[in-house]
């Protein structure tokens, strides 16, 4: 039998193997995660206490900036336009009670009906 010195595992007291180091890293990572979680809990508790003590608001903490992804001008335009949140009348209805106000993309029920040969006018709600 031929011995390969590079495949021999080190004896105790010698250098660690890759597997041993990986196990040690995993153990240390678990310890670090537990310590971080414990510390974060304390930090959050102290922050909450300070917010309550000083009666701070989100405006105080974050300066009243708009949420990420929206600009102040877009928010102002939407609030001034009167469109946001306004109800629009329903224009189309099928026999199952599905409705569409003709705003945005056509709903799946209408797309399916059109694909089966029906016309959009078939669903138009007639007004007097």
Residue 112 has pLDDT above 80, yes or no: yes
Q: Confidence class of residue 58 from pLDDT cuts 50, 70 and 90?
A: confident
58 and 101 share one domain: no
22 and 63 share one domain: yes
Q: Output the pLDDT for position 56.
A: 87
Q: Is residue 54 part of a domain?
A: yes
Q: Output the pLDDT for position 52.
A: 87
- Count helices and strands in the chain by DSSP H and E runs: 4, 2
Residues 100 and 94: beta-carbon distance below 8 Å: no
Residue 119 has pLDDT above 70, yes or no: yes
96 and 73 share one domain: no
105 and 69 share one domain: no
- Average pLDDT score over the chain: 80
Q: Confidence class of residue 114 from pLDDT cuts 50, 70 and 90?
A: very high
Q: Is residue 74 part of a domain?
A: yes
Arithmetic mean of pLDDT, 49-58: 87
67 and 111 share one domain: no
Range(s) of the domain holding residue 110: 92-123
Q: Is residue 103 part of a domain?
A: yes
Q: Is residue 36 part of a domain?
A: yes
Arithmetic mean of pLDDT, 112-117: 94
């Amino acid at each position: 039998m031929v011995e390969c010195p590079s495949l021999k595992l080190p004896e105790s007291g010698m250098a660690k193997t890759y597997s041993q180091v990986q196990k040690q890293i995993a153990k240390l990572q678990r310890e670090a995660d537990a310590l971080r979680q414990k510390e974060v809990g304390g930090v959050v508790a102290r922050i909450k206490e300070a917010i309550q003590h000083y009666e701070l608001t989100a405006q105080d903490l974050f300066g009243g900036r708009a949420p990420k992804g929206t600009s102040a001008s877009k928010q102002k335009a939407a609030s001034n336009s009167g469109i946001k949140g306004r109800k629009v009348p329903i224009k189309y209805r099928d026999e199952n009670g599905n409705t569409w106000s003709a705003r945005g993309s056509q709903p799946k029920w209408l797309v399916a009906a059109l694909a089966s040969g029906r016309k959009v006018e078939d669903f138009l709600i007639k007004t007097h």
